[in-house]
Amino acid sequence: MQSTINYIRKSARFPFVLALVLACATVAWPQKNDKKLAAKAEESKKASDVFTEIMNVPEKSIPQGLLDKAEAIAVFPGVIKGGFIIGARGGHGVISRRLPGGWSAPAFFNIGGGSVGLQIGAEKTDFVLLFMNNGAVESLMKNKFEIGGEAGVAAGPVGRSTAATTDAQMNAQILSYSRSKGIFAGLEIKGSVIDPDNDDNVAVYGIKANDILSSAHKWPMAQIPSGVRIFPQTLSRYSTRR
């Protein structure tokens, strides 16, 4: 390698060769990031579609009062759960935090967990999580966050009114919902682990999930990559508090 560099240096065409090498190096990264961005854009669209479909059925959707109180919203579309005796779930999703002026760029997270019991086959489930206070949001800043561990979780109510909510639901830091086979309802999912997919976050934004969701970070919509902008735009259609 060193001998090749020395040869190039001695060559009269060194400036041209060097410029060509640098140009090739520069175009390699955007191509890789563009591919990653396309994949994350598709993921953001799926999450947006799930949220829109749920909210378009008012009598079975997330109550507006709770939605407007949420400090962050996560959507994990098509999480796979299956197995025989020992089951497991796994999937990818996006989380946006409510900030002054709107919703943050979506940070990319993974969800995983296991369960033991009599279960056969596999199914895909959409999960929606409402983080109801800043303490719950700050829990996401850890490398791995267990739902129902430090932050209390409860099955979220559905429908137009929150009058039927229990004390557990009103005091929970996280409200969880699921949709499987077309049925949307509150479901308490303790034990699932959420962790940031920082390889993807860095590839798309150049920063990690902590910085994306930081309350100090301002995200004008125009600065969010257009491919993933659909998720915070969707949240803004249904909740515009502040």
- The answer to whether residue 37 sits within a structural domain is no
Number of domains in the chain: 1
In a domain, 1, yes or no: no
| 17 inside domain | no
Question: Which tokens belong to 12?
Answer: 């009269």
Task: Report the predicted TM-score, pTM, of the whole model to 2 decimal places.
Answer: 0.79
Question: 85, 116 in Cβ contact below 8 A?
Answer: yes
In a domain, 31, yes or no: no
Sole residue written with tokens 């502040």: 242
pLDDT at residue 38 in the model = 93
Statement: residue 241 has pLDDT above 70: no
Which domain, by its residues, includes 207?
52-237
Q: Token match 């990319």: residue?
A: 108
- Cβ-in-10-Å burial (0-12, 13-18, 19+) of 16 comes to exposed
CB 78 within 8 A of CB 124: yes
Q: What pLDDT, in 10s, does the model give residues 193-238?
A: 899 999 999 999 999 999 999 877 676 777 889 899 999 999 999 9
Q: Is residue 129 part of a domain?
A: yes
Sign of CA dihedral 67, 63, 234, 127: positive
Structure confidence by residue, pLDDT tens digits, 90-134: 889 999 999 888 899 999 999 987 554 444 455 788 999 999 999
Backbone angles phi, psi at 181, to 5 degrees: 55, 35
Residue 102 forms part of a structural domain = yes
pLDDT of residue 112: 84
> Which stretch of 3-7, 149-153, 159-163, 181-185 has the lowest confidence by average pLDDT?
3-7
What confidence tens digit (pLDDT) does each residue in 158-195 have?
886 555 555 556 678 999 999 988 888 888 777 788 99
CA distance 38 to 190: 32
DSSP string of 93-119, one letter each residue? EEEEEEETTEEPPPEEEEEEEEEESS-
Could you tell me if residue 221 is inside a domain?
Answer: yes
Instruction: List the structure tokens of 161.
Output: 């009114």
Residue 10 belongs to some domain of the structure: no
